[in-house]
Amino acid sequence: MSTENDNAAWGALMAAAQSGDQASYARLLRDITPLLRRVGRRKWPMAADADLEDIVQDVLLSLHSVRQTYDPARPFLPWLLTILHHRLVDGIRRRTRQNAHETAVDRFEETFSEIAANIPEEPIGGHDALHKAIASLPGGQRRAVELLKLKELSLKEAALQTGMSVSALKVATHRALKALRVALTGKV
């Protein structure tokens, strides 16, 4: 059967389906599904099989929703392929958005017994080195770290205790953390 014959036959099936012929509608859906997969794969060759199947299902649902808008006097295939085009665009946009928020993981070391997994690392230099580094900070920076990071006070509470402004506390904390990073790792 050629595409022209398919187009005419599918148009007739769709017209019958619009009149309530369920058998014609079921046959139409069964007949067009392979075409949707083929054209969808050609238009989006990098699609995962699951994504492509989602597109086909979306087209079939859309076709069902808008079946009354089909004009039997016009060719069926361009109408169907327009629906497919719109669902493909939606699917590609959806996949692009999802990929923007996903991180591909190539290695799953925690799942293999021969590789040590979930072993807590000792902070560089250890606990004592951290306290020595904090003690070596200038007074304002040391006080900011102690109140904001160790005692976990809010900026407002720390400002009341030190008499420093919130902005000054932020700057002191930033500089202190930078100095601690350098002292403990040697990296800027």
CATH says 126-185 is which class?
mainly alpha
Spell out, as residue ranges, where the chain has pLDDT lower than 70. 1-3, 104-125, 188
CB-based contact 64:25 (threshold 8 Å): no
What pLDDT score was predicted for residue 21? 93
Q: Cite the residue boundaries of each domain of the chain with CATH code 1.10.10.10.
A: 126-185
What pLDDT score was predicted for residue 87? 96
How is domain 3-100 classified at the CATH fold level? Rna Polymerase Sigma Factor; Chain: A (1.10.1740)
Mean of all residue pLDDT scores within the chain: 86
Placement of tokens 């002191």 in the chain: 172
What pLDDT score was predicted for residue 103? 72
What pLDDT score was predicted for residue 56? 96
Q: Cite the residue boundaries of each domain of the chain with CATH code 1.10.1740.10.
A: 3-100
What pLDDT score was predicted for residue 5? 78
* Torsional sign, CA 57, 60, 66, 69: positive
